[in-house]
Amino acid sequence: MELTTVWFALIAILWIGYFTLEGFDFGVGMLLPKLARNEKERRVMYNTVGPVWDGNEVWVLVAGGATFAAFPEWYATLFSGFYLPLLLILVALIVRNLAFEYRHKRDDDRWRKRWDWALILGSWTPAVLWGVAFANIVAGVPIDAEKEFTGTLFTLLNPLGLLGGLVTASLFATHGAIFVALKTDGEIRHRARDMAAKLGVLAAVLAVVFMVWIQMKTGSLASAVAFVLAALALVAGLVANLRGREGWAFIGTFTTIALAVGGLFLALFPDVMPSTTDAAFSLTTTNAAATAYTLKVMTWVAVIFTPIVLMYQAWTYWIFRKRITVAHIPDPEDFTSLAPAETLEK
């Protein structure tokens, strides 16, 4: 197998890791005003992702870096053509991350409320825009002979792109609701389970329409198999959620997102950015790749360091595996003495 194909697959795996892990982070933030009824419940929701959100975010940094090193032409065209939506995602992630770090700094309801909205908006924005971006990457965008994107922001806001945004937002919200049900107990757990059931139906309908559209437009046999398995995994996850089996439900939505993202990359291959102007202008794994020497060095670095990163992240999830309840949250008057959310005992 050529190293260009290997690195295309590795980048796909990095994006799968990002969306499956950061996806439930986004979902928790998106559902904060719906699932939490008081300050202690809001603290519970923050603490479900407190120990892991920053580790989950590393996946997108590595994916971006790997794209830059392995496929510099892809990186250049993507980040110049999609500059505004990617900038909005970056700003949203920064604001969202500040919410985790600064919310507990002052014992003031208005202060905490402002940072709650930072978390909510900072979760909704990338949840929608990532779907818009990937729908356009797979379906194709106008690219000229110089490998330059010739469209505008409104080019990306087409029906398929907007549907992609709705799909990612609804899937992440469902994934996040199930994660809250898995990590909590008491009223918030049952509330999250009910919310997941409602959101899951919406996500399933939107996702099926989106995957059929992509498959008809640019799909392959491999992508069709991945999409069908993704749909089955979502159904299985929703059934498990209805039966109160949150662990299996989380595996179901996790697998759904993994297979759906994998299906998009399978539908994309061997292109990395198809051109709707002329197929001859499309960026592929061949004409967008770095030199063979660069890919060879990167492969050895990945072989050495990837297992270390995976073991560390798995260890983190194991350490913070216990459920959280309002009983673990101090009274409001004690908040000024709290350590950051990720250091609280689970």
Grouping H, G, I as helix, E, B as strand and the rest as coil, residue 331 is coil
Q: Who contacts 203 (Cβ-Cβ below 8 Å, separation ≥6)?
A: 167, 170, 171, 173, 174, 234
Q: Which residues pair with 149 in a beta bridge?
A: 143
Report pLDDT for 92: 96
Which residue type is seen at 171? L
Quote the pLDDT of residue 68: 93
Predicted local distance difference test score (pLDDT) of residue 104: 87
Question: What is the pTM for the complete model shown?
Answer: 0.91
- Taking 70 as the pLDDT cut, the residues of the chain under it are 1, 332-346
Which pLDDT belongs to residue 260?
96
Which are the contacts of 154, defined by CB distance < 8 A and separation ≥ 6?
Answer: none
> In which element (H, E) is residue 248 found?
helix 246-268
Confidence (pLDDT) at 309: 84
pLDDT value, residue 43: 92
- Residue 15 dihedral angles phi and psi, to the nearest 5°: -70, -35
Q: How many other CB atoms sit within 10 Å of the CB of residue 209?
A: 13
Residues 195-220 have pLDDT tens digits of 999 999 999 999 999 999 999 999 99
For the chain, percent helix, then strand, then coil, each to nearest 5? 80, 5, 20
